[in-house]
Amino acid sequence: MPGSAPTITLLLGDITEQHAEAVVNAANSSLLGGGGVDGAIHRRGGPAILAACRELRASHYGGGLPTGHAVATTAGNLPARWVIHTVGPVYAVREDRSALLADCHRNALAVADDLGAESVAFPAISTGVYGWPLDSAARIALSTVRGTETSVRQIRFVLFDVRALAAFEQAGAELGIEISRQ
């Protein structure tokens, strides 16, 4: 039974340098690597992550990982135990895909619960090449993790630049979510 709510921390940094039990990858559905967070994780984590992703493609996820779903692999050489891969939605002006972005966060925490991970670091999913406006993504990310029952004790959002950090800080303030800064 989950007890008190996990702490939520915001920090400026690189997801590949996080000493968290699990780090979340903003993957694409192929699971075979890409740019941004995905590229950095595979570069720094080494070939063990790609090998595990290839196995997933050969077994459970022959058609790729669907948007909003999450799955774990080894973290290879990263200073984490696991990478939780999740596929964010591509932002669309004409269609509200917010529920899928919320699913990414909820399902990543569910995978972390299955692993028994107590600390999880998230990047700002979908806000890079997938084009999601930062302020909206920040609100969805923070409200979803705050609203999800989880055994994870520490949730960290690792923001790559000051603009992303400011967006998350503002979203936290607007939503009245208690946040620590690091």
Q: Hey, which residues are catalytic here? A: 38
Q: How many CB atoms are located within 10 Å of the residue 101 CB?
A: 26
| Cβ distance to ligand ADP smaller for residue 5 or 50 | 50
The residues of the shown chain that bind ligand ADP, judged by CB under 6 A, are: 14-16, 26, 35-38, 40, 88, 123-130, 158, 160, 164
> Least CB distance from residue 180 to ligand ADP, whole Å?
18
| Cβ distance to ligand ADP smaller for residue 23 or 152 | 23
Name residue 92's amino acid. Answer: A
> Least CB distance from residue 63 to ligand ADP, whole Å?
19
Closest CA relative to residue 43, chosen from 12, 82, 17, 61: 17
Report the C-alpha gap between 97 and 95 in whole angstroms: 6
Q: Give me the helix-helix angle, 134-147 and 98-115, nearest 10°.
A: 40
| Cβ distance to ligand ADP smaller for residue 5 or 13 | 13
| Cβ distance to ligand ADP smaller for residue 81 or 151 | 81
Name residue 14's amino acid. Answer: D
Q: How many CB atoms are located within 10 Å of the residue 144 CB?
A: 19
> Least CB distance from residue 146 to ligand ADP, whole Å?
20
Q: Is 118 exposed, middle or buried (0-12, 13-18, 19+ CB in 10 A)?
A: middle
> Least CB distance from residue 130 to ligand ADP, whole Å?
3
